[in-house]
Structure 1
């Protein structure tokens, strides 16, 4: 994660937008929180660098608020698709370099993509998929999608693999997976196939395609 402070404009301070804004501010960034609901803005006034009551459909209001100078704009408006689209257009017009936007449907996603946003977010769907992956296999502690079909999965080493070296897993030969490393508590044990001997409850970090990772997990 970059140590450089960035300036973010978060438009829409519902549950998703407010959580995003607070955490970005907590990470040391400068966050401008924007909503047309005075109650929501007031609720987060102490958490953010700025909290502004304004209508993001008004490009002049956004410009006067200094949004044109932010590094990243996030349109976190939920059910009002018109407001989401107009806010996105305004960010593009103001020259905001990087724009992420929340979508609530396929059509909404399609419109935002046509507008050229850098990433369309589906928070509920993405969280649901993430939880399903973890629940599907008790040994999967967590996973991250890297794009292009590649994922990093965090497997808890079961008792059946205790005492085995990484080379004995045959993860590369049989499943085309790369080992990023092994974590033991808070210690990074390493990724050397011969010298690293697994212990129960180690965390094994593997990189590869979803189907390859799934087949590997089934064999644990």
Structure 2
């Protein structure tokens, strides 16, 4: 069965999610107070509805309780974001993801029962910062406040050496969980695997350890 999603708030973040979910063939209910935004998405989402998400009656009438996953992507109105999340929690929605404006907002969302809180602007800022440090840093994804996963191109200091020879786990506290070699992905690299030019390592670890790993092995002098 297809999963059913609802996206509340059709700004840049919510609109992007709505478009991608729809492109993947998902059933998407788009909700926004702004009629112009709804008109933009009426031919993209499965259903696009003008509505006040802070009004419990409105959400009940839309059958929001039966939606598998609701994304609250309300932009700059923190109060509306919090009130909407409260209503969704009280209605017993199965999964609720909410966009946070800042850390204080995130703490409130956690306390009132949001299942997953995202920080798109902060996370994108971190990804861009990592990517501009070095061309060898391909991608960066935060797993928690203290841990991340990065994709890094093997630096000059790594080429021709094995994982055990570099002793990445012992020296840097990071774990290589996969190696991309062109179109091939080795998801179970052995300590003896030798790194080649253009290999991309998928590395997991604490932020402080990853930063040290990047400085000492990944970023070419």
- Return the TM-score normalized by structure 1: 0.89
Q: Which residue of 1 aligns with 2:171?
A: 174
CA contact (8 A) 2:147 2:205 kept: yes
1:211 to 204, 208, 216: 208
1:97 to 69, 94, 98: 94
Q: CA deviation at 1:145?
A: 2.5
Aligned residues: 216
Rounded Cα–Cα distance in structure 1 between residues aligned with 2:103 and 2:167: 40
Gaps of 5+ in 1: none
Q: Deviations over 1:82-124 (max 9, x none)?
A: 3222222221222212212222244433332332111222221
Q: Deviations over 1:113-171 (max 9, x none)?
A: 33211122222112112211222333211122233733222110123432222222111
Rounded Cα–Cα distance in structure 1 between residues aligned with 2:179 and 2:151: 9
1:192 aligns with 2:190: yes
Rounded Cα–Cα distance in structure 1 between residues aligned with 2:203 and 2:108: 36
Which stretches of structure 1, 4 residues or longer, exceed 6 Å deviation after superposition?
Answer: none
CA contact (8 A) 2:172 2:209 kept: yes
Rounded Cα–Cα distance in structure 2 between residues aligned with 1:172 and 1:42: 52
Rounded Cα–Cα distance in structure 2 between residues aligned with 1:105 and 1:214: 24
Q: Which residue of 2 aligns with 1:7?
A: 4
Listed as ranges, the matches of 1:127-206 within 5 Å are 127-147=124-144, 149-189=146-186, 191-194=189-192, 196-206=193-203
More displaced, 100-109 or 82-91? 100-109
Rounded Cα–Cα distance in structure 2 between residues aligned with 1:141 and 1:94: 41
Q: Which residue of 2 aligns with 1:73?
A: 70
Rounded Cα–Cα distance in structure 1 between residues aligned with 2:78 and 2:158: 51
- Secondary structure at 1:219's aligned position in 2? helix
- Return the TM-score normalized by structure 2: 0.88
CA contact (8 A) 2:123 2:142 kept: no
CA contact (8 A) 1:137 1:217 kept: no
User: Aligned pair in 2 of structure 1 residues 84, 173: CA closer, same or farther (>3 Å)?
Assistant: closer
Q: CA deviation at 1:187?
A: 1.0
Q: CA deviation at 1:59?
A: 1.4
CA RMSD of aligned residues (A): 1.9
Q: Which residue of 2 aligns with 1:47?
A: 44
